[in-house]
Amino acid sequence: MSKQPVRVRFAPSPTGYLHVGGARTALFDWLFARKHNGTFILRIEDTDIERSSEEMTRGILDAMTWLGLHWDEGPYMQSAGFDQHRDAVSKLLESGHAYHCFCPPELLEQKRKEAAARKTDFKYDRICLRLAPDEVKRCLENEQRAAVRFKVPDGSVSFEDAVVGEVTISSETIEDFVLLRSNGQPTYHVSVVVDDIEMRITHVIRGADHISNTPKQILLYRALGAPIPVFAHIPLILGPDKTRLSKRHGATSVMAYQEQGILPEAMRNFLALLGWSPGTDQEFFEDDELIRAFSLEGISKANAVFNPEKLAWFNAQYIARLPHERLVPYLKPEYIKAGLWRDSLEREDAGWFRSLVDLYRPRAKVLQDFPKLSRFFFLDHVEYDQAAVDKFLKDEKVRGYLRTLADRLEALPEFSHHSLEAAVRSLADELGVKPAALMNPARVAITGQAIAPGLFDVMILLGRDKTVKRLRI
Ligand code: GLU
């Protein structure tokens, strides 16, 4: 199989939003396809009609687009292939790999209950396999409702999983599973295998929760005479308490992270290291490095632990490192949401905005921190934090100092970091106070807050006029 062009698929069921585990599977599929110049296919497995919805499908596409996982083919809807899936079942019936089952669901349910009472697993007892051919014919002619079951051959099924290694399952443990329900609906196993054959999938990279399905699916490939793809089952993701990741551990939907102000770059980098390791200490990966470094061999057998602090760390790293042309488009919607955006920030004030962004990079943990922390630059009226005012601006004498400082700054020949610092120091000397006794109140007067970036950086970005005006409090 390995000489064929690589074709992989991500096959989510649209019964919920794209969650962290699904996104990580999609990322591994995408990385593998990119690494091998292969094709990344998106297939929406909407065969559970009652639980699937278009809204969820749209949500999955949006989340993948946001994550930057662009697919080359699809989205294909699995339900569109029902006829082909049914044809495959007919072929399996013809070739003797499958048989009709007329057992009423109530009877099966009763047997299942009896087995449970005996504390044993129920395995279909093959009653219908023993029906004589003319009896089957008669039942079908009487339009008796029939399911179709696969006839599991004796022996065992083995495969070499690219992550887990050799897996061998005895046929004893596999029941004659249903291929077609009595209502004519193909089951998951048939649809998946027929689609994977049809789409010429070479590598099935998916969550470890599917490993128990693989022996059945391999039996289907064999019975249909199709080449068997490479299987790679990637480990589960656990929460920090080592139980399966769930809502108890925080957001599990990928889009919730977008809403929290996480960058897709950070999410990708973080997800890549959930269950995969480059074999070095490197943690920070641009996409092209990740594609180069990625391999199925680097995927761990052990379950991965989701650590939200690590994601926060990656986000801060990417906020600090992304070039402006990539960061600003992420910030624009946040400034719009905060009601602070103006188009000049992309035109005549673009240089000013870039400086502002740089000022806040070291302080921002999520995208929303930028408008939140820099709000005072955009408003005409300062929103004062009362505690900061009480602490630093209550004293009329201090306000007098700030008015003097305003006069000095107004008269400076140049409004630079150096000249501002010199002006503050010399005024503090004259007044016999420490520079901090001027700078702390000045910060509150200008920003409304006791905590802000370096005072002189703020003054320069705010500009002389506004600085002087705000100091005359
Ligand atoms: N539709 C299945 C799921 O969402 C995936 C099937 C597969 O990858 O084979 O879990």
Where does the pLDDT of residue 459 fall: very low under 50, low under 70, confident under 90, or very high at 90 and above? very high
**Count of structural domains within the chain:** 4
Residue 249 has pLDDT above 90, yes or no: no
Same domain? 288 vs 427: no
Residues 213 and 105 in one domain: no
pLDDT at 248: 84
Catalytic residue among 247, 301, 337, 391: 247
Pick the residue whose CA is nearest to atom 7 on ligand 1: 11
For a pLDDT cut of 70, what percent of the chain falls above it?
100
CATH number, position 277: 3.40.50.620
User: Do 272 and 209 sit in the same domain of this protein?
Assistant: yes
Same domain, residue pair 360 and 465: no
Alpha-carbon distance values, 127 to 135, 146, 151 (Å): 13, 13, 12
Sign of CA dihedral 312, 317, 320, 322: negative
Tell me whether residue 216 is one of the annotated catalytic residues.
no
- 303 and 422, same domain (yes or no): no
Provide mean pLDDT across the span 119-130: 94
Q: Tell which one of 10, 13, 187 to mutate to probe ligand 1, the residue whose CB is within 8 A of the most ligand atoms.
A: 13
Token code pair at residue 390 = 């009480």
Q: With 80 as the cut, is the pLDDT of residue 3 above it?
A: no
Structure-token pair, residue 10 = 């991500």
Does residue 319 sit in helix, strand or coil? Answer: helix
Does residue 23 sit in the same domain as residue 126? no
- pLDDT of the residue at 144: 87
CA dist 348 to 101, 342, 351, 353, 397, Å? Answer: 74, 11, 7, 10, 40
Output the pLDDT for position 137.
95
- Residue-wise pLDDT for 166-209, tens only, equals 999 999 999 999 999 999 999 999 999 999 999 999 999 999 99
Domain boundary among 180, 197, 222: 180
Please tell me the distance between residue 327's alpha carbon and the centre of ligand 1 in angstroms.
34
Token code pair at residue 252: 């599990």
Same domain (yes/no): 242, 364: no
Asked whether 192 lines ligand 1 (CB < 6 A), one says yes
Q: Collapsing DSSP states into helix, strand and coil, what is residue 62? A: helix
Residue 329 pLDDT > 60, yes or no?
yes
Write down the residue that tokens 């269950």 correspond to: 275
Listed in sequence order, the residues at least 6 apart from 362 whose beta carbon sits closer than 8 Å to its beta carbon are 320
Using the predicted structure, report yes or no on whether residue 23 has a pLDDT greater than 60. Answer: yes
State if residue 11 touches ligand 1 by the CB under 6 angstroms criterion: yes
- Check which CATH number belongs to the domain holding 425 and give it: 1.10.10.350
Atom in ligand 1 nearest the alpha carbon of residue 12: 4
User: How far, in Å, is the centroid of ligand 1 from the Cα of 284?
Assistant: 30
Confidence of residue 425 (pLDDT cuts 50, 70, 90): very high
Residue 152: domain span: 83-180
Q: How far is the CA of 159 from the centre of ligand 1 (A)?
A: 19
Same domain, 361 and 400: no
Q: Ligand 1 centre from 215 Cα, in Å?
A: 15
pLDDT for the residue numbered 314: 98
- Same domain flag for 106 and 32: no
Q: What is the per-residue burial (b if ≥16 Cβ within 10 Å, else e) of 141-163?
A: eeeeebbbbbebeeeebebebbb
- Same domain, yes or no: 441 and 317: no
The two three-digit tokens of residue 74, written as one number: 């699809």
Sort strands 7-10 and 39-44 into parallel, antiparallel or unpaired: parallel
Q: Which atom of ligand 1 is nearest to the CA of 192?
A: 9
Please write the tens of the pLDDT for every residue from 50-90: 888 999 999 999 999 999 999 999 999 999 999 999 999 99
- The structure tokens listed for 365 are 């943990």
Verify that 71 and 148 share a domain, yes or no.
no
Minimal-distance CA residue to ligand 1 atom 5: 11
Please say which residue of 302, 321, 340 terminates a domain.
321
Regarding whether 360 and 269 lie in a shared domain, the answer is no
Please work out whether the CB of residue 21 comes within 6 Å of at least one atom of ligand 1: no
* Residue 42, ligand 1, Cβ within 6 A: no
